[in-house]
Amino acid sequence: MKVIISITPRALFASATLALAAALTGCGSDPEPADPTPVVERYVEMVHDTYEDTVFGVTTLKGTVDDLTATPSEASLKAARDAWIAARPSYGESESYRFYGGPIDDEDGPEGRINAWPLDEAFIDYVEGAPEVGIINQLQSFPDITKDILISQNEKGGEKNIATGYHAVEFLLWGQDQSTTGPGARPYTDYVTDGTGTAENQDRRAQYLTLVTDILLEDLISVEVQWEPGADNYAASFAKDPKDALGKMLKGMGSLSGAELSRERMNNALQEQDQEEEHSCFSDNTHADLVANATAVQNVYLGRYGGEDGPGIDDLVAATNPDLDAQVKADLDAVLGAIDAIPQPFDQAIVSEDGRAKIQAAIDALQKVTDDIVLVAAELEVTINLEE
């Protein structure tokens, strides 16, 4: 690594503009690390903005699901699928706000209900060769489909027994993906209840889809309110200790870029060459999910979300180590470039020579970013306890 010990005029300027205590320590000419307060305040703001967008996206989705279940047709199914795809980027960009026991994934946090995967589709509905399986088709075990039932069944009896969340909705809209060129092709007639529909239990399927979308919306709102500015909530306590908050921000970034994205969401699929291991396997939306997750990491570093760029970790790093800042920015860009280069759909990329090489390159780029985050933590003298 390039070692910077001497202080630069630019670093001094940057720390001054951030209203930082630039007092020099007695043991060298380095400045104290910059005051992270404005960066933490910006983070709180963008976290709230992101969750607000997730709520907006799923509210829209909810409207299309209501249309689909009321009047099933090619058009209403397509509208619901489009709304699901449109709802995904904001959630993907929120995933760098995980991994430190915040509202999304503290002891009682809803993360396991929101985005758990990979899911065993036979836990929810019929699959090829097994028309009788799944909560929807098991009338004896589940005479009524209610929110409480779905919540209590989620993760019951195994980590793949997922009853709720984005991917449950995804499966109910697309069905199993048996295609090598496109996504799953569940017919809209799976929701037709006048006796001409396909598959069994169309009314129960519609009920399931409606309730599972409601649960998703409620869970996202429960997280959003914890980040509402000016309220007596998690955000208020989070901002009280900016240095601790900075550690959490970096831990969220590094946990997503390291273990979660590069290993669980990419390397596992690459090594197993198994569609079951791709993130959005029914809709073939995995590539967009990867982009959103990589963007999530970049967003926190830059203090940027949705085109609005505020004080970020980059400003703190630039104040004492502009070379490191430049390196991190370049490495974050490289990740997005590498993911962009992966051919679509992802479930075919994992079995093609070109696709596999490009996925490996993106994994390597993510590893570099994860290493960078450790360096940034050292630079800013914060403790991140990054487990990857």
User: Where would I find the H helices in the chain?
Assistant: 9-17, 37-70, 74-94, 111-114, 147-153, 166-174, 202-226, 234-240, 242-255, 268-272, 286-302, 313-320, 322-340, 346-349, 353-379
| CB nearer to another protein: pick between 51 and 123 | 123
List binders of another protein among 317-336 (CB under 8 A): 320
Among 4, 139, 149, 225, interactor with another protein by CB under 8 A = 4
| CB nearer to another protein: pick between 336 and 378 | 378
Nearest alpha carbon to residue 4 among 355, 348, 306, 321: 321
Q: Write the CB contacts of 81 (distance below 8 Å, at least 6 apart in sequence).
A: 173, 174, 283
Binding mask 100-129 for another protein (x = CB under 8 A): xx---xxx-x--x-------x-xx----xx
Among 14, 22, 33, 134, interactor with another protein by CB under 8 A = 33
List binders of another protein among 65-84 (CB under 8 A): none
Among 50, 153, 298, 367, interactor with another protein by CB under 8 A = 367
CA torsion through residues 58, 175, 119, 387, sign: negative
Q: For 344-358, b where at least 16 C-beta lie within 10 A, e where not — what string?
A: ebbbebbeeeebbeb
Query: CB of 217: closest distance to another protein in angstroms?
Result: 22
What number of chain residues touch another protein (CB under 8 A)?
Answer: 56
Could you say whether residue 222 binds another protein (CB under 8 A)?
A: no
Nearest alpha carbon to residue 386 among 284, 256, 272, 276: 256
| CB nearer to another protein: pick between 155 and 218 | 155
| CB nearer to another protein: pick between 159 and 308 | 159
Among 8, 12, 32, 348, interactor with another protein by CB under 8 A = 32
| CB nearer to another protein: pick between 122 and 249 | 122
| CB nearer to another protein: pick between 198 and 383 | 383
**Can you tell me the distance from the alpha carbon of 193 to that of 298, in angstroms, rounded to the nearest whole number?**
46
| CB nearer to another protein: pick between 77 and 162 | 162
Query: CB of 320: closest distance to another protein in angstroms?
Result: 6
Q: What is the CA radius of gyration of the chain?
A: 23
Element (H, E) at 308: strand 308-309
Among 9, 26, 195, 307, interactor with another protein by CB under 8 A = 26
Query: CB of 165: closest distance to another protein in angstroms?
Result: 16
Q: How far is residue 179 from each of residues 19, 134, 159, measured CA to CA in Å?
A: 57, 22, 26
Could you say whether residue 384 binds another protein (CB under 8 A)?
A: yes
* Token pair in block for residue 114: 């929101």
List binders of another protein among 258-287 (CB under 8 A): 259, 263-264, 267-268, 271-272, 274, 276-277
**Can you tell me the distance from the alpha carbon of 253 to that of 258, in angstroms, rounded to the nearest whole number?**
8
**Can you tell me the distance from the alpha carbon of 325 to that of 322, in angstroms, rounded to the nearest whole number?**
5
Query: CB of 107: closest distance to another protein in angstroms?
Result: 5
Could you say whether residue 293 binds another protein (CB under 8 A)?
A: no
| CB nearer to another protein: pick between 87 and 384 | 384
Nearest alpha carbon to residue 103 among 261, 209, 231, 243: 231
Return the DSSP state at 165: S
Residues of this chain that interact with another protein (CB under 8 A) are 3-5, 25-28, 30-33, 100-101, 105-107, 109, 112, 120, 122-123, 128-129, 155, 157-161, 243-244, 247, 259, 263-264, 267-268, 271-272, 274, 276-277, 320, 367, 374, 377-379, 381-388
